[in-house]
Chain A
Amino acid sequence: MSEKISLAHGDGGELAHQLIQEVFVSAFEHHEHARLDAALLHVPSNKLAISTDSFVIKPVFFPGGNIGKLAIVGTVNDIAVSGAEPLYMTVGFILEEGFLIKDLKEIVTAMAEEAKKANVKIVAGDTKVVERGSVDGIFINTTGVGVIKEENFLPRKIKEGDSVIISGTIGDHGVAILSARGELGLLTDLESDCACLNRLIDDIMSASNKVKIMRDPTRGGVATTLVEICEDFKVAIEIREDDLPIKPEVEGACDLLGFEPLYLANEGKLLVIVAKEDEAKVLEVMKKHELGIDATSIGHVVEQGEGKLFLKMTLGSRRRLNRLSGIQLPRIC
C-alpha cells in the first residue's frame, strides 16, 4: 500500500476499496453493515438523542490525543450530557491529498479504541479526498445516536440555590493545544483532558435524580457554557474565583498570554447543575471516578440577575462574565 493519500483513494475504485478494507473496516469492525448502503439498527427506546459535529483541530496530534479521539469524544459527550446513552456513530473523513496513511491509521485506531471504551459502535462511514490545499490535512465529521430513558429526561427545572459542579481542572485542553502548536515554544507539557464522559455521567445519573442539566464546556470554556445556560433557562449563576480548579501550568500559560482559563476549551470536563441537597452525593460519586477525582463545587444559582453569569472575585466584588467574543480588546483606558 502507498504511503500517502492520493486523489485515487477517494474515487470509489480499487485504491479506495483497499483503503476502506485496510484502514477502516479492520479498525471499526463493522463487517455486517458494510454490505448495505445504510446501517440498520435496533434501539431499546423510542426517544433518541442525535448529535453531529465536525472536527478541524490543529495540530492533528497533540499530547493526550489526536483529532480522531477528539471526534469520538466530542460527539459521545454531546449525547451523554443530554442524559442519553450513546450507542452508535457514523464517521466521515475529508482527507487532503498527500496526507500520510500512517497518520490516518493512527487516528483511526485511536477512534476505534475510544469508541470501544465508551461502548459505542461505529456503524457507517464515508471518505472523500480533496486536492492539496483544499483542506488542512484531515477533517472529520461524526454523528452519534443515543437513547434516553424516561426517568433521565433533562433538563429539570433549575432553582435558586442549585449547585454548579465541575468535574475537574479547567482549561487543560486549551493550553495543551496552544503548547502543542509549538509556535509559542514549549509552554508546558500538559496533556489535553480529552475523554468520554458517558461512564461518569451514568454514575451521576444513577446516584441522583435531582441533576438539573449537564454540559461539556468545550469551545468558549466554562464561562461561555454557563452564560448559555443562564440565557437559555433565564437563571442567574454565580461562580467563585477562589473555588475554580486550575492547574498551575494553565494559570502560568494564561498569565503569559493574557488569556482567562474560564474561556479556554475543555474536552473531558463536565458541568453539572444539581439540587443543593444532592450536591454532596454527586460529588462523592464523581470523585470515585477517574475523570472526576478533582470534582468540586464552583458556584450556585442565585436569585438576582436573570440571564447573567457572575464571578465572585477573591477581593469581594462581583464581575459579570459574558460569552467569549472573538478577540478580547482592552477596555482599560
Chain B
Amino acid sequence: MEELNMWLDFPIYASVAILCWLGASGLFLSSGKKKLNQLAAALSFAGTIVLLLFLTVLWLHIQRPPMRTLGETRLWYAVFLSGIGLVSYLRWKYKWLVSYSLGLAIIFLIINLQHPETYDKTLMPALQSPWFIPHVIVYIFAYALLGASSLVALRNLFFAPTEKTINGPIQMADNLVYLGFSFLTLGLLFGALWAKEAWGHYWTWDPKETWAFITWMFYLVYIHYRFRHPAQHKKAMGVLAVAFVVLLICWFGVNYLPSAQNSVHVYSQ
C-alpha cells in the first residue's frame, strides 16, 4: 500500500467512468426505448460513482481534501456535471443535455489523463480551515450548474428558439442559472468570511477574487436582462454564453494572467 501512487491508478478509474458514460450517451442518443434509457441512466450513475470512489480513495491517501490543484477541481467538476446531467434527465427528460454533460465530463477526465497530476500532500496553513471544503465544493457545484446552462445557451445560439425549446430547455437553463447563481453567491460570501479569519480582511481584490466578482456580475446581468425582457431568448442566450467564458477565465485563465502572479489562491498546476 505504501508505494501505491494514487494517480497511477487514475487511468483505470477514468477509463471505467469514460466507458460507462460513452455507453450511456450512445444509448440515450440512439434509442427511444424506455428500458434502454433506464440502462443508460444506470450506466451514467455508475460512472459518477466510480469517480466518487476514486476521489474518496485519493482523499484518504493524500490526507487532505483533494481540492487544491486544477486537476483535482476538474475531477469534482466531472462528478457534479455528470450528476447534474442525470438529475436533469430524470426531472425533465432531456436526453441531449445529459449526453452533452457526460461529453463535457469526459473531456475533463481526458484533460486529466493528458496531464497526470502531482499528489502533493502539503497544504499551506492558510488553507487548513473548516471553510476550505464548503468554499471549493460550493464553487465547483455552481460552475457545473452554470456549465450545464451554457450548453443550452450554445445549442440555442445556432437554432431559432421555438415554442418547444422556450418552454423546455431554455426554461431549464434559467432554472439552472438561478440555482448556479445562488451557489456562486454563497461561494463568494463563504470566501469573504474565510478570508477575514485567515488574512484579516474579507476582500482584498486579489486577482482571483476580482475575476470571481466579474463572473458574478455577468450572471447578474443575465438575470436582470431576463427579468426585464423575458421574450428576448436569443440575446439572453448570448449573454449566458459570454458569462460562461468569463467563468472559465476565472477558473483556469487567471493562472496565466500577468495581473495574477503571486496570487494567494490560484489553483496550483
Asked whether A and B interact, the reply is no
